[in-house]
């Protein structure tokens, strides 16, 4: 049974503040550690009032300092927003403070809009050099080479594990070529999932970091003690994705009783398409649906996002999911 991990977007809930979001993230990470999740990742987004993890490396340090054993990392750092040198220094420092616990997932998208990119002082064409920037970052985190004049301190020889993140064939091809683990963002962009997994596995070249392909698949999972309760909790995510369709991002909404009163048929089709890799329900419901999904994808790891407004309900969701993982692990091995 593949391990389950957590992607926390540090959602700022309606009625809450960024301080609440960051406290909730640390509390969730501590519970994730208690429940046996593999890793806890945070993502870089800018100029979004509903997400508190813009300074991603700082939040990773906050979470790592408040936990003991769980791996903590970025899912991901949007490398076009930064120089590889700065990221090498940041994550080299994190790896020095928390040895053996830091992951660095790298994305090619800006994670924001064009105006904010200018505020970040980044060239809109920076994404074009993403493969070269990944190689530069990898070298800065690797051993010092003879004659090397510039090094990251800390950073050199920390060998922070790199991951390639993506939602298209480009990331799959790059991860395969570099021999890196690959995480597909099917929790919001599922269309190319199966094709990307096939490309990654077929073209994978072993590397010093990884001997065989390792494909992580992003999913949304909302668990509760009853199916109806889970479906109501899921309306927060459904509203949030509808708001993205409308171009009105905001705080994470409170759940509502009937999502059909919130979205139009067009909005429903668009938001539901983005949320196609979502699993909502009780322990029994999730056990059946996740078993089928794992058999279909052959995922080596699931990265779980759960946009739940109430922090206690979110922790409960991950408790139920941990039970589902135990149930599935006790079954005969997936083919």
Asked whether residue 23 is assigned to any structural domain, the reply reads yes
Question: Distance of CA 18 to CAs 21, 48, 51, 59, 290, Å?
Answer: 5, 11, 8, 12, 32
Nearest C-alpha neighbor of 172 from the set 153, 154, 152, 193: 193
My answer on whether 142 and 66 are in the same domain is yes
Q: Which residue range is the domain that position 110 belongs to?
A: 1-160
Cis? peptide before 34, omega within 30° of 0? no
Question: Distance of CA 228 to CAs 14, 233, 236, 267, 323, Å?
Answer: 22, 9, 14, 22, 19
pLDDT of residue 334: 55
Domain boundary pick from 115, 131, 160? 160
Asked whether residue 198 is assigned to any structural domain, the reply reads no
Asked whether residue 272 is assigned to any structural domain, the reply reads yes
pLDDT tens column, 155-184: 999 999 999 999 999 999 999 999 999 999
My answer on whether 9 and 143 are in the same domain is yes
Confidence of residue 280 (pLDDT cuts 50, 70, 90): very high
CATH code of the domain containing 121: 3.20.20.30
My answer on whether 226 and 294 are in the same domain is yes
CB 169 within 8 A of CB 199: yes
CB 237 within 8 A of CB 220: yes
Asked whether residue 211 is assigned to any structural domain, the reply reads no
Domains contained in the chain, number: 2
My answer on whether 254 and 153 are in the same domain is no
pLDDT of residue 126: 75
Asked whether residue 60 is assigned to any structural domain, the reply reads yes
My answer on whether 35 and 142 are in the same domain is yes
My answer on whether 233 and 144 are in the same domain is no
Confidence of residue 7 (pLDDT cuts 50, 70, 90): very high
Asked whether residue 42 is assigned to any structural domain, the reply reads yes
My answer on whether 228 and 153 are in the same domain is no
The structure tokens 């105006």 sit at 115
List of E strands, the chain = 4-8, 39-42, 71-78, 102-107, 162-166, 182-184, 215-223, 278-281, 301-305
Mean pLDDT of all residues belonging to the chain: 95
Confidence of residue 58 (pLDDT cuts 50, 70, 90): very high
My answer on whether 143 and 261 are in the same domain is no
**Phi/psi at 217 (5° precision):** -120, 125
pLDDT tens column, 285-301: 999 999 999 999 999 99
pLDDT tens column, 194-240: 999 999 999 999 999 999 999 999 999 999 999 999 999 999 999 99
Q: Give me the helices (H) in 142-222, please.
A: 169-178, 193-203
Question: Distance of CA 281 to CAs 73, 203, 261, 284, 330, Å?
Answer: 28, 36, 21, 8, 20
CB 181 within 8 A of CB 175: yes
Q: Show Cβ contacts of residue 29 under 8 Å, excluding neighbours closer than 6 positions.
A: 6, 8, 40, 63, 66, 67, 70, 72
My answer on whether 156 and 237 are in the same domain is no
My answer on whether 116 and 257 are in the same domain is no
Proportion of the chain above pLDDT 70, given as a percent = 98
**Residue 203 CB burial class (10 angstroms; 0-12, 13-18, ≥19):** middle
Nearest C-alpha neighbor of 136 from the set 83, 84, 210: 84
Domain boundary pick from 145, 160, 175? 160
Maximal CA-CA distance, the chain:
65
Asked whether residue 193 is assigned to any structural domain, the reply reads no
Could you tell me whether strands 71-78 and 39-42 are parallel, antiparallel, or unpaired per DSSP bridges? parallel
Structural Rg of the chain based on CA atoms: 19
């Amino acid at each position: 049974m593949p391990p389950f991990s957590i992607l926390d977007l540090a959602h700022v809930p309606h009625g809450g503040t960024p301080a609440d979001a960051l406290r909730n993230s640390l509390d969730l990470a501590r519970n994730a550690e208690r429940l046996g999740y593999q890793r806890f990742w945070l993502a870089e987004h800018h100029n979004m009032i509903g997400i508190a993890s813009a300074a991603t490396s700082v939040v990773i340090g906050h979470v790592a300092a408040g936990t003991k054993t769980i791996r903590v990392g970025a899912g991901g750092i949007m490398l076009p927003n930064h120089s590889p040198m700065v990221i090498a220094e940041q994550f080299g420092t994190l790896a020095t403070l928390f040895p053996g616990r830091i992951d660095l997932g790298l994305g090619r998208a800006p994670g924001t809009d064009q105006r904010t990119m200018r505020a970040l002082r980044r060239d809109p064409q920076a994404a074009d050099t993403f493969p070269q920037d990944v190689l530069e970052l990898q070298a800065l985190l690797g051993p010092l080479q003879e004659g090397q004049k510039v090094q990251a301190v800390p950073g050199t020889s920390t060998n922070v594990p790199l991951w390639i993140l993506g939602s298209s064939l480009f990331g799959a091809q790059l991860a395969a070529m570099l021999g890196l683990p690959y995480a597909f963002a099917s929790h919001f962009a599922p269309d190319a999932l199966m094709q990307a997994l096939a490309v990654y596995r077929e073209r994978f070249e072993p590397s010093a970091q990884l001997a065989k392909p390792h494909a992580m698949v992003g999913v949304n999972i909302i668990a509760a003690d009853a199916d109806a309760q889970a479906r109501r909790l899921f309306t927060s995510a459904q509203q949030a994705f509808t708001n993205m369709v409308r171009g009105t991002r905001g705080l994470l909404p409170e759940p509502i009783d009937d999502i059909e009163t919130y979205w139009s048929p067009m909005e429903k089709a668009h938001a539901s398409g983005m949320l196609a890799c979502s699993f909502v329900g009780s322990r029994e419901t999730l056990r059946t649906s996740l078993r089928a999904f794992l058999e279909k994808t052959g995922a080596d790891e699931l990265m779980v996002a759960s946009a739940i407004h109430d922090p206690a309900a979110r922790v409960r969701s991950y408790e139920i999911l941990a039970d589902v993982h135990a149930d599935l692990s006790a079954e005969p091995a997936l083919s």
